[in-house]
Amino acid sequence: MEQPHALLVASPGLGHLIPILELGNRLSSLLNIRVTVLAVTSGSSSLSETEAIRAVVARGTCEVTELPSVDIDHFVEPDATVFTKIVEKMRATKPVVQDAIKLMKQKPTVMIVDFLGTDMMSIADDVGMGKYVYVASHAWFLAVMVYLPVLDKVVEGEYIDIKEPMKIPGCRPIGVDDLLETMLDRSNRHYRECVRCGEEMPMSDGILVNTWEELQGSTLAAFREDGELRRVMKVPVYAIGPIVRSNGPIKKPNSIFEWLDKQRERSVLYVCLGSGGTLSFEQTTELACGLEISGRSFLWVLRKPTSYLGESSNNDDLVNVGLPEGFLDRTRGIGLVVTQWAPQVEILSHGSVEQWMNATLLSEEIGVAVRTSELPSKRVIGREEVAFLVRKIMAEADEGGRKLRAKAEEVKVSSERAWTQGGSSHSSLLEWAKRCCLLS
């Protein structure tokens, strides 16, 4: 008897590829099913993307096929957002995905796409597969996305002109400063594509979301209860998180880990904006000065300032140009600046590293983060404020910092419990697998 077969389609970009690869790894290892990943490429795969694919292939948990890039230049404007370009590339790649499925000896039972690939779901309809959407973010994001088409119909004018906080079912009211970037200009194609994605997600057979009941129980309950959100999202929502990149073997010696090994436990602040995150020249300078003034140990994965977007990101001279003169010399031993790819999961797993993220969800709902006095998108955050916030979350004597660290430890424990036998996420994934006939 053949193993059940799941097909996952990853959108271009490391931030979309890794979540799909890790979901595939989890499905294969937990359910003992065959998993095929079709990776839609951007045309110039980065070293990080290549490494991520090689790591999964080496595990033997998933079959990964990189699909050839499709030219979309005549479909999008030169100044189109990255989001718009990815959505259009996924749309243009549909025939390639269809051909890849036709060549498969065993037809998949289900197809899973990320929220940028909802246009692909018609392929599943054509061949009789179940179709699901994986949201690698969290339940708040999912709620905003599927409720966006409702707001689009009832709200007049721009969202940023609304004085009162916006009410999203299952979420805390959202102020203007916390709106998704896509909601800032309703005339932009980016916004229209987001509305379309929000309309299409409920047309799936269900949603898999990278969160867990103990973390976002109230928002997840809103999807199940007979309320506004339930009327919009009639298909089931399965909380199956946290699914994060697994630790992999690191080639030794590695200067990053040699440096971390010399630091005290939980004494290092990890500073990283993600694979696509960059700062302006001015904000890079202020962040550097703030880290230096704070006197705390740090590991900073530094990308080139946004003024150099046309240049190669692995040119160390361009990356370091935003740093104050003498910064690297003055912080030698206290801080470490990494200008190229860094093994993030392994770094965050190291005992010396303390990690923090800033967002409305984390600061107000979960209580594991601090926020700047104003959004960095509105003004440059000065060095004194950076230093103050670093000390606040890292200083052992600070009561607020102690509460944050205690809450973070509580969240960590609950996340681990969610994936134990009978835990909320473990049970949710098994429920989904039975529903779509991947398990009997």
Residues with active-site annotation: 16, 114
- Say how far apart CA 338 and CA 272 lie, in whole Å: 10
List the structure tokens of 86. Answer: 């990815």
Backbone angles phi, psi at 324, to 5 degrees: -60, 150
Residues in a beta bridge with 299: 270, 336
Cis-peptide into 242, omega within 30 deg: yes
The residue to which tokens 């904000």 are assigned? 283
Are 212 and 414 in contact, with CB atoms under 8 Å apart?
yes
List the structure tokens of 239. Answer: 């909380």
Nearest CA to 270 out of 356, 363, 388, 369 is that of 356
Burial of 247 (0-12, 13-18, 19+ CB in 10 A): exposed
Cα-to-chain-centroid distance, residue 392: 26
Contacts of 282 (CB under 8 A, 6+ apart): 380
CA-based R_g, the chain, Å:
22
Longest pairwise C-alpha distance within the chain: 66
| CA atoms in the 13 A half-sphere facing the CB of 94 | 15
Straight-line distance from the first to the last Cα atom of the chain, in angstroms, rounded to the nearest whole number: 13
- Say how far apart CA 182 and CA 180 lie, in whole Å: 5
Count of Cβ atoms closer than 10 Å to residue 44 Cβ = 8
- The 3-state DSSP class for residue 36 equals strand
